[in-house]
């Protein structure tokens, strides 16, 4: 008899989240297991030129559909920027923030449905019908939540301005998520976590991707009380973020850029945290004992998501942990 197939929930941000999600889908297909539910960060969603952008939701949707731009790392493959040029000519939007034409089609469709009264969960459900994604996607919440960066010099910027315009070069003092205290988990989120056999934390930015998901009231409690094993994958390899600027975010919240420090930041479930196990890169083997002592099972694996096979091997190791 085949062993029962695991019910899997993944918490994820954009780029790291989508690579990992592709791996989870491939690993579950190999196991013949049902679709996973991916709970996606919506903390960096925003309104721009009258349309609703959902960067992480779109990154994951495009990647699962195979229509993402793998060279640039964001947006749609083969996109053009005619509308963007026209918006710039009008002085609309942000001059440092490019919106592709195909991408704008997504934003227009989404905004239209939101205006008709659909919730973000319903909109995502409708968008997911266009392509056979093989994964159930849920936004972390239907409430509008922002991410603001408080700078050392006292200014407050929208996360996208700080990240995209200033390339995270202005020293941050703190990150805030206006609206999060009143947000509720999107329908299905806490039920999926409660019914899961395994919950995976993708190797996403701990501060501005996984952080907001955990900060939606009720999500952390759901992780702490589920009978599922909660397994995280380190976004830090050998003391470095693999891509992007997550190290600046970690420093601002007082967390060292190391695999072990991020695991301790999430904490062991046996000590008020959310993790049962943590996947560490081979480069970080020396941290395993420290994590075990903190009550987090350490599993050492290659963690470079260089292609879908590599991501699938990581996902499979996480599922087995």
- Which residues would be at the binding site for Ca ion (CB under 5 A)? 13-14, 44, 56
Q: Are 183 and 220 in contact, with CB atoms under 8 Å apart?
A: no
Q: Does 262 bind ligand GDP (CB under 6 A)?
A: no
Closest chain position to ligand GDP (CB)? 16
The CB-of-89 to ligand GDP minimum distance in angstroms stands at 29
Choose which of 84, 244, 291, 298 interacts with ligand GDP (CB under 6 A): 244
The CB-of-168 to Ca ion minimum distance in angstroms stands at 12
Contacts of 47 (CB under 8 A, 6+ apart): 53
Which of these segments, 46-54, 145-153, 185-193, 240-248, binds ligand GDP (CB under 6 A)? 240-248
**If we measure between CA atoms, which residue out of 19, 2, 28, 18 comes closest to residue 198?**
28
Residue 207 DSSP code = I
Which of these segments, 85-93, 143-151, 187-195, 297-305, binds ligand GDP (CB under 6 A)? 297-305
Instruction: Please tell me the distance from the alpha carbon of residue 106 to that of residue 113, in angstroms, as a whole number.
Output: 11
Closest chain position to Ca ion (CB)? 14
Q: Where are the alpha helices (DSSP H) in the chain?
A: 15-31, 55-65, 82-90, 101-115, 120-128, 159-160, 189-195, 211-215, 219-225, 246-252, 259-266, 288-293, 308-320
Q: Does 58 bind ligand GDP (CB under 6 A)?
A: no
Q: Does 47 bind ligand GDP (CB under 6 A)?
A: no
User: Closer to Ca ion at the Cβ: 88 or 257?
Assistant: 257
Q: Which two tokens stand for residue 22?
A: 């592709």
Q: Does 96 bind ligand GDP (CB under 6 A)?
A: no
Q: Are 184 and 218 in contact, with CB atoms under 8 Å apart?
A: yes
Residues in contact with ligand GDP by the rule CB under 6 A: 12-17, 56, 59, 203-205, 209, 234-235, 237, 241-244, 246, 303-305
């Amino acid at each position: 008899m085949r062993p029962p197939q695991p019910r899997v929930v993944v918490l994820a941000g954009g780029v790291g989240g989508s690579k990992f999600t592709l791996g989870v889908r491939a690993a579950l297909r190999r196991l013949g297991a049902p679709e996973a539910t991916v709970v996606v960060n919506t903390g960096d969603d925003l309104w721009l030129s009258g349309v609703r952008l959902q960067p992480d939701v779109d990154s994951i949707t495009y990647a699962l559909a195979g229509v993402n731009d793998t060279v640039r790392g964001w947006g749609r493959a083969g996109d053009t920027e005619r509308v963007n040029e026209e918006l710039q000519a009008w002085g609309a939007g942000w001059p440092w923030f490019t919106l592709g034409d195909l991408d704008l089609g997504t934003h227009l469709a989404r905004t239209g449905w939101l205006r008709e009264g659909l919730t973000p969960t319903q909109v995502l459900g409708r968008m997911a019908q266009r392509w056979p994604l093989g994964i159930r996607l849920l936004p972390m919440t239907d409430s509008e939540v922002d991410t603001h960066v408080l700078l050392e010099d006292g200014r407050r910027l929208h996360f996208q301005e700080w990240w995209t315009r200033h390339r995270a070069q202005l020293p941050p003092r703190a990150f805030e998520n206006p609206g999060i205290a009143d947000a509720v988990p999107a329908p299905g989120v806490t039920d999926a976590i409660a019914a899961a056999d395994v919950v995976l934390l993708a190797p996403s930015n701990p501060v501005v991707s996984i952080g907001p998901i955990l900060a939606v009231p009720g999500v952390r409690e759901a992780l702490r009380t589920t009978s599922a094993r909660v397994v995280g994958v380190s976004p830090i390899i050998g003391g470095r973020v693999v891509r992007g600027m997550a190290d600046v975010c970690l420093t601002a919240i007082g967390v060292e850029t190391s695999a072990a420090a991020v695991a301790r930041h999430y904490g062991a479930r046996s000590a008020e945290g959310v993790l049962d196990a943590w996947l560490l890169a081979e480069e970080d083997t020396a941290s395993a004992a420290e994590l075990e002592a903190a009550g987090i099972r350490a599993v050492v694996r290659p963690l470079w998501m260089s292609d879908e096979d590599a991501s699938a091997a990581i996902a499979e190791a996480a599922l087995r942990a």
